[in-house]
C-alpha cells in the first residue's frame, strides 16, 4: 500500500471523532494536537468508563463484602486482565499496576537492584534515555556503590550496537533501554539488544512508555525481564501504568512500598506479604484511572495495533518530507527506524519561542529538552521543537504545522 493510501484507511480516519478534545478551537483556530508523546488525548470510551464507574460503581477494592466493592474489584481486576492480554504476559500475577513508567522503573531499581547490587557491579543504560530511565539507576548506584555505564549514540540518534555490546561484561547486572526514544523517535532494535544481553545473563528492563501506544508489544516475544509503561500515553488516564516482570524475579523481590493490601498478616513481630501482584501494590490504588486504562486497551485493540503502526509510519514519512521542504529547518533525529516523533530546529529561533508562535496558530507541540537532557547535550543543543503523532492525526495536521512554521519564519525574519 502506498503511504498516502495507508493514511486514508477508513478505520483510522474515523477515530478522530472518538476524541472530544480534538474538536475545539485554540486562539481562534481548530486545534492541531501534535504532543501525544507527552500525553495523549482520551477517547469517549475511556472518559465514559471512568465516569460510569464514578457515578455507579465506586467503592474501595479487595476489601468490601458489599456489592459496590465487588463491582469495583471486578472492574479493576478486569483491567489487569486486559493489560495482561495486551502485552501477552504469561500470567496476571506478573502485571503490577503502578502510577506510570516512572514508578515502574523506580520499583525495579529499589526492589530488584538495591538488595542485590554490590560495589563493582554495573548498570548499563544508553544516551537516548528519558530522565525516568536514568535517575532511578543513578540513585541505586549511589546507594549500593555500583557504577552506571552509558552506551553512546550516533549522529542519527541510533544506539551504537557494537559499543553497547562491548560494555556488556559479567559486571553488568542490569541493562535498561528505551523501546522508542521520546526525544528523537528512534525505534531501538530491542529484540536484538535483549538477545545479546540475555546471552550474557544480563537482566533487561525495557522502558516502553513510547512503545505501547504505537506498536504491538509482546513481552514474551521480546524476551526481556521487565517492561514498563504509562497509561496516559496510550489514551488512558494519568496516574496509571504497568510494570510487567517475570514471575520468578518478582517472587524474590522485596516489596517496594509498605501499607494496606500488600500484606496477608500483620503483627508487630512479623508481617507476611501478600502474593503477586498485590505484594507491590500498597494502599488504595488509582481505581478509576485503571478502569479507564482497561477501556483504553479495548479501544486500541478495536482499532488494531497493526493499523495504528502503519498509519503512523506513513504519516511520519509525510511529516518528514514536508518538514524537509521548509527553508531553514533542520531535523534532529534521523534514525533509520523512527516512530511518529520528530524533533527539529527552525533557523536560530529558540524552541520555546517557536512553540509559542505555533500555539498562537492552534498548533500544539512540545519544546525544550523533553526530559532527555543527555540527548540534547549529545547534539550540542539546549532543546528542540518536537511534533509527535498518534492514531488520530492526519495529513491536514501536518499541513497546518507546515503553514504555522512558514508564518513563524516570517515573524522572526
Ligand atoms: N520514558 C519515556 C521514554 C518517556 O517518554 C516518558 C515520558 C517517561 C519514561 C516517563 O513517563 P511518566 O508517565 O512516568 O511520566 N515522556 C514525556 C515526554 O516525552 N514529554 O512529556 C513526558
- Report which ligand 1 atom has the smallest distance to the Cα of 99: 14
Rounded CA gap, 296 and 300, in Å?
Answer: 6
Q: What is the mean pLDDT of the chain?
A: 96
Q: Which of 40, 100, 101 is the best mutation target for the ligand 1 pocket, counting ligand atoms within 8 Å of the beta carbon and taking the most? A: 101
Cα 100 to ligand 1 centroid, rounded to whole Å: 9
Residue 1 has pLDDT above 50, yes or no: no
pLDDT digits (tens, 9 = 90+) for 259-283: 988 889 999 999 899 999 999 999 9
Distance (Å, whole) CA 229 – CA 208: 5
**Of all residues in the chain, what percent carry a pLDDT higher than 70?**
97
CA angle 13, 16, 22 (to 5 degrees): 150
**Closest-lying ligand 1 atom to the alpha carbon of residue 181:** 3
Task: Indicate if ligand 1 lies below 6 Å from the C-beta of 206.
Answer: no
Which residue owns the Cα nearest ligand 1 atom 21?
38
- As a whole number of angstroms, the distance between CA 156 and CA 343 comes to 12
> Which candidate, 331, 322, 235, places its Cα nearest to that of 33?
235
Shortest-distance Cα residue to atom 6 of ligand 1? 209
Catalytic annotation present for 371 = yes
**Residue to probe by mutation, ligand 1, list 233, 236, 289, 369, most atoms within 8 Å of CB:** 233
Q: Is 410 a residue whose pLDDT tops 90?
A: yes
The domains of the chain are located at 3-30+304-411, 47-302
Handedness of CA 34, 38, 43, 47 (dihedral sign): negative
Q: Is the CB of 144 under 6 A from ligand 1?
A: no
Residue 64: its pLDDT value, please? 81
Neighbours of 65 (CB within 10 A): 6
9 exposure class (CB count in 10 Å sphere: 0-12, 13-18, 19+):
middle
d(C-alpha 397, C-alpha 383), whole Å: 23
Q: Dihedral of CA 3/8/9/14: which sign?
A: positive
Bridge-based pairing state of the strands 95-98 and 32-33: unpaired
CATH class of segment(s) 3-30+304-411: alpha beta
Asked: is 47-302 a CATH 3.40.50.300 domain? The reply is: no
Binned at pLDDT 50, 70 and 90, residue 9 comes out as low
Distances in Å between the Cα of 59 and the Cα atoms of 132, 181, 250 are 32, 38, 29
pLDDT greater than 50 at residue 188: yes
**How many angstroms separate the alpha carbon of residue 344 from the centre of ligand 1?**
19
- Measured from the CB, is residue 367 less than 6 Å from ligand 1? no
> CA angle 329-3-221, nearest 5°?
100
239 lines ligand 1 (CB under 6 A): no
pLDDT in tens, 358-390: 999 999 999 999 999 999 999 999 999 999 999
Amino acid at each position: 500500500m502506498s503511504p498516502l493510501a495507508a493514511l486514508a484507511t477508513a478505520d483510522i480516519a474515523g477515530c478522530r471523532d472518538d476524541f472530544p478534545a480534538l474538536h475545539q478551537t485554540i486562539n481562534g483556530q481548530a486545534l492541531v494536537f501534535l504532543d501525544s508523546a507527552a500525553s495523549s488525548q482520551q477517547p469517549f470510551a475511556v472518559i465514559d468508563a471512568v465516569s460510569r464507574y464514578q457515578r455507579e460503581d465506586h467503592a474501595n477494592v479487595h476489601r468490601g463484602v458489599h456489592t459496590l466493592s465487588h463491582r469495583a474489584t471486578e472492574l479493576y481486576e478486569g483491567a489487569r486482565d486486559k493489560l495482561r492480554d495486551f502485552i501477552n504476559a504469561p500470567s496476571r500475577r506478573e502485571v503490577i499496576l503502578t502510577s506510570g513508567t516512572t514508578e515502574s522503573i523506580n520499583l525495579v531499581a529499589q526492589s530488584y537492584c538495591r538488595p542485590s547490587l554490590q560495589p563493582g557491579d554495573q548498570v548499563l543504560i544508553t544516551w537516548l534515555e528519558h530522565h525516568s530511565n536514568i535517575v532511578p539507576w543513578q540513585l541505586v548506584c549511589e546507594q549500593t556503590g555500583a557504577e552506571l555505564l552509558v552506551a553512546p549514540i550516533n549522529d542519527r540518534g541510533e544506539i551504537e550496537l557494537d559499543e553497547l555490546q562491548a560494555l556488556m561484561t559479567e559486571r553488568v547486572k542490569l541493562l535498561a533501554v528505551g523501546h522508542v526514544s521520546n526525544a528523537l523517535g528512534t525505534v531501538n532494535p530491542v529484540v536484538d539488544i535483549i538477545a545479546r544481553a540475555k546471552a550474557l545473563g544480563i537482566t533487561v528492563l525495557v522502558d516502553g512508555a513510547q512503545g505501547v501506544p504505537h506498536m504491538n508489544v509482546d513481552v514474551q516475544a521480546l524476551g526481556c525481564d521487565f517492561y514498563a509503561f504509562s497509561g496516559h500515553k496510550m489514551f488512558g488516564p494519568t496516574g496509571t501504568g504497568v510494570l510487567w516482570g517475570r514471575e520468578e524475579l518478582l517472587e524474590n523481590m522485596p516489596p517496594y512500598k509498605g501499607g494496606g493490601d500488600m500484606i496477608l498478616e500483620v503483627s508487630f513481630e512479623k508481617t507476611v506479604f501478600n502474593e503477586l501482584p498485590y505484594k507491590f501494590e500498597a494502599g488504595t490504588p488509582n481505581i478509576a484511572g485503571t478502569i479507564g486504562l482497561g477501556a483504553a486497551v479495548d479501544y486500541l485493540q478495536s482499532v488494531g495495533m497493526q493499523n495504528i503502526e502503519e498509519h503512523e509510519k506513513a504519516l511520519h514519512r509525510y511529516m518528514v518530507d514536508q518538514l524537509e521542504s521548509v527553508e531553514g529547518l533542520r531535523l534532529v533525529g534521523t534514525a533509520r527506524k523512527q516512530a511518529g516523533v520528530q524533533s527539529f530546529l527552525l533557523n536560530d529561533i529558540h524552541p520555546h519561542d517557536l512553540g509559542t508562535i505555533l500555539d498562537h496558530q492552534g498548533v500544539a507541540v512540545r519544546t525544550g529538552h523533553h526530559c532527555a537532557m543527555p540527548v540534547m547535550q549529545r547534539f550540542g543543543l539546549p532543546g528542540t521543537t518536537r511534533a509527535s503523532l498518534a492514531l488520530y492525526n492526519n495529513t491536514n495536521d501536518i499541513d497546518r504545522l507546515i503553514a504555522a512554521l512558514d508564518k513563524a519564519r516570517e515573524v522572526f525574519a
